[in-house]
Amino acid sequence: MFFLCSLRRLCRIVPTGTMVALMGWPAHPAWARQAPPVTLSETSRSFVLSNGILTVQIDKYSGNITSWKYKGLELMSRGQGYWSQVGSTRHFGAKRMALVRVSPAASHGAEVEVAVRALYDPQNPSDQLPVDVEWRYTLFRGASWLYASALWHHPASYPSFSVGEARMCLKLNPAVFDFLVVDARRQQRMATGYDWDHGIQLNLKEARRLTTGVRAGEVEHKYDYAAVLYQTPAYGWASTHDRVGFWMINPSFEYLSGGPTRPELTGHVDTVLLNMWLSSHYGGSWLAIDQGQDWTKFVGPFVLYVNSGSTPQAMWRDALHRAALEKAKWPYNWVNDPNYPSASQRGAADGQIVVHDLYHPHLQVRDMWVGLTAPDYPAHQPAGFPPMVDWQRDAAHYQFWVQANSNGSFRIPNLRPGRYTLHAFATGVLGEFEKTDISIKPGETLHLGRWVWVPRYYGQPLWEIGVPDRTAREFRHGDHYWQWGLYYLYPKEFPHGVQYVIGKSDWHRDWNYCQPPIIYGDPEWGTVWHVSDSVWSILFTLPKALEGKAYLRLAFCGSRQGTHISVLVNGKVVGDTGPLPNSGVMHRDGIQGYWCERDIAFDASLLHAGQNVIQLKLEARDWPQGVLYDYLRLEVATSRVASAKVRSLPPSHAR
Overall domain count for the chain: 3
In the chain, the amino acid numbered 645 is: K
For position 561, what pLDDT does the model report?
85
pLDDT grade, residue 29 (50/70/90)?
low
Specify whether 143 is located in the same domain as 42: yes
For position 385, what pLDDT does the model report?
87
Specify whether 513 is located in the same domain as 411: no
In a domain, residue 302? The reply is: yes
Q: What is the pLDDT of residues 354-410, one digit of tens each?
A: 999 999 988 888 899 999 999 999 987 777 888 899 999 999 999 999 999 999 999
Specify whether 17 is located in the same domain as 97: yes
Specify whether 483 is located in the same domain as 400: no
Mean pLDDT over residues 104-128, rounded? Answer: 94
Sheet holding 39-42, edge to edge: 39-42, 46-50, 54-59, 65-70, 73-74
| pLDDT higher than 80, residue 78 | no
Residue 122 DSSP one-character state: T
User: Are the C-beta atoms of residues 256 and 250 closer than 8 Å to each other?
Assistant: yes
Specify whether 417 is located in the same domain as 464: no
In a domain, residue 2? The reply is: no
Distance CA 357, CA 340 (A): 41
Specify whether 419 is located in the same domain as 445: yes
In a domain, residue 610? The reply is: yes
Specify whether 436 is located in the same domain as 409: yes
- With b for 16 or more beta-carbon neighbours within 10 A and e for fewer, the 210-233 pattern comes to beebebeebbbbbbbbbbbbbebb
User: Are the C-beta atoms of residues 38 and 53 closer than 8 Å to each other?
Assistant: no
In a domain, residue 1? The reply is: no
Specify whether 269 is located in the same domain as 392: no
In a domain, residue 5? The reply is: no
Greater model confidence, 364 or 308 = 308
For position 380, what pLDDT does the model report?
78
DSSP class per residue in 566-625 = EEEETTEEEEE--SPP----GGGT-S--S-EEEEEEEEGGGS-SEEEEEEEEE--SSTT-
- CATH code of 188's domain: 2.70.98.10
Average pLDDT of the chain, as a whole number: 91
Mean pLDDT over residues 246-256, rounded? Answer: 98
For position 124, what pLDDT does the model report?
84
In a domain, residue 391? The reply is: yes
For position 640, what pLDDT does the model report?
53
In a domain, residue 531? The reply is: yes
Distance CA 289, CA 491 (A): 45
* Domain stops at, among 281, 308, 340: 340
In the chain, the amino acid numbered 466 is: G
In a domain, residue 528? The reply is: yes
Residue span of the structural domain in which 435 resides: 344-453
Distance CA 35, CA 332 (A): 22
Q: What is the pLDDT of residues 442-479, one digit of tens each?
A: 999 999 999 999 999 999 999 999 999 999 999 999 99
User: Are the C-beta atoms of residues 384 and 252 closer than 8 Å to each other?
Assistant: no
Mean pLDDT over residues 221-225, rounded? Answer: 97
Measured from the Cβ of residue 238, the count of other Cβ atoms closer than 10 Å reads 28
For position 30, what pLDDT does the model report?
54
Specify whether 235 is located in the same domain as 379: no
Specify whether 395 is located in the same domain as 303: no
For position 523, what pLDDT does the model report?
85
- CATH code of 594's domain: 2.60.120.260
Specify whether 297 is located in the same domain as 364: no
- The pTM is what? 0.92
- With b for 16 or more beta-carbon neighbours within 10 A and e for fewer, the 493-528 pattern comes to ebeebbebebeebebeebbbbbbbbbbebebeebeb
* Domain stops at, among 276, 305, 340: 340
* Domain stops at, among 290, 313, 340: 340
- CATH code of 389's domain: 2.60.40.1120
Distance CA 393, CA 193 (A): 33
Among residues 553, 533, 313, 525, which one has the least CA distance to residue 429?
A: 553
Greater model confidence, 567 or 16 = 567
Mean pLDDT over residues 33-42, rounded? Answer: 91
Specify whether 550 is located in the same domain as 583: yes
